[in-house]
Structures are given as structure tokens and as C-alpha cells.
Amino acid sequence: MEQQEKTQLSYWQKNWILFKIYFVTSLFTFTGGIAMLSALKREICDKHRLMADEEFYNYAAISQTLPGVIAVTNASFIGKKVNGTSGMFIAAFAAILPAFVFMLIATVLYQLLPKEGPIYYGLSAIRAISAAFIFSAALTIAKLNLKNIYNILIAFICFIAIIFGLLDAIWLIIIAIVVGILLSFKQKRGEQ
């Protein structure tokens, strides 16, 4: 029965469903990420039965390991699997469309705000609170990732380098990538 439902969907129906799912999930997800996953899973696996749960979570996990925008990589994997290359582009397009349109409108409006007087003081306070959100984000990632001495050291060095303007972020990230690769060598040798 399930198999039959799958085959009944035409090429265009599948693309339309992919578009709808990714557009709506992206529309209602702030700052992206994990919150999207449960909504996506419900639509893709439970409601439309486009793929099995396990397969879905597999793609979700890989999307988080690869460089790039996680939500778009996720849409690309699942779109490609469900409906080939057109599915990939349509799902990815739907995932970025709401963010792009709203952010564009917001940016245009934001430029129109006066840069002096009481509004400016309001903006300064809002900028101050944006630093608070950034600290929160750093703390959240720290709790999940700073579990060994190497990682704590990397985080500390990056922090010092940035606040004193010593080294560019891009070099620090490249160094971190190299450290990750070297640690893998060490780990593999340890296993042998």
C-alpha cells in the first residue's frame, strides 16, 4: 500500500511537495538548525512517506558534518534522493526563499531608520543585546564541544587571537582543520 502511494506521485507532484515542505519549514524556523528537523521529519517521513525515518536521519546527520549551510545541504540531499536533480534544486530554493525575501525587506527597512536621536539609543541597546545572544551561542556550542584538552586549547587560543586582533579568523579555522586531521592520524595509529 505504501509502495503504491509512492509510485502514484508524479514528477511534478513530488517537486511541488518538496517545495511546500521546505518553504513552510524554513518560514517558521528562526536561526535555522535542529528545530527544523522534527518538522521536516514529520512532513517527509510521516505525512508524505517520501523516505524511511532512518534514511532521513542519516541525511540529517551527514548534512551537519559537511561544510556549507546545513539546512540547504539537508534540502539538497533529500530533494536529490526523492526526485533527482530537479528535486535537489527545488528543495534548496524553497529552503532559502523565505529567509532571502524577508531578510531583503528587513535590510532595506533597517537602512531607513534614522541614525541619530532616541532611535539611535534604542539601536545601541539592541546592539548591546546582540552581543548577549552571541555569548549564549558560544556557550551552547562550548557545552557540546569542549570535551577534551585540545578543543579547550583551540577555543582559548582563538578567543585571545580575536579579542587582541592578533590573527585572522580564516587562518585560525584552517589551523583548526589541520589539528583535526592530525588528531585523526594519531587516533588511527592508536587503534593499530
Partner 1 sequence: MPILIVLVLMFLKVGFLGFGGGYAMLPLIFEEARNIGLTIEQFADLNVLDVLIPGPIAINAATYVGFLFGGIIGSTVATLTVTIPSFVFAPVLIKYEDKIKQNVYLSNVLSSVKAAAVGLIAGIGVLILVHNALEIDNLRQIFSAKINWFLLAVTFIGWFLHDKYKINPIILTIFAGIVGYLFHYI
Instruction: For the segment 55-84, give every residue that binds partner 1 (CB under 8 A).
Output: 58-59, 61-62, 64-73, 75-77, 80-81
**Cβ closer to partner 1: 49 or 137?**
137
Q: Are the beta carbons of 98 and 27 closer than 8 angstroms?
A: yes
Considering only residues 9 to 48 of the shown chain, the ones binding partner 1 according to CB under 8 A are: 26-33
In sign, the C-alpha dihedral spanning 64, 68, 74, 79 is negative
Provide, rounded to whole angstroms, the least separation between the CB of residue 22 and partner 1: 11
- Considering only 11, 12, 16, 159, the residue that binds partner 1 (CB under 8 A) is 159
Q: Which of 39, 140, 22 is nearest to 87 (CA)?
A: 22
Nearer to partner 1, 17 or 75 (CB): 75
Instruction: Report how far residue 124's alpha carbon sits from residue 121's, in angstroms, rounded to the nearest whole number.
Output: 5
Residues 124-143 that bind partner 1 (CB under 8 A): 124-139, 141-142
Is 53 or 138 the residue whose CB approaches partner 1 more closely?
138
Nearest to 186 by CA among 152, 148, 158: 148
Question: Which is nearer to partner 1, 16 or 121 (by Cβ)?
Answer: 121
**Residue 47 has which C-alpha cell?**
505525512
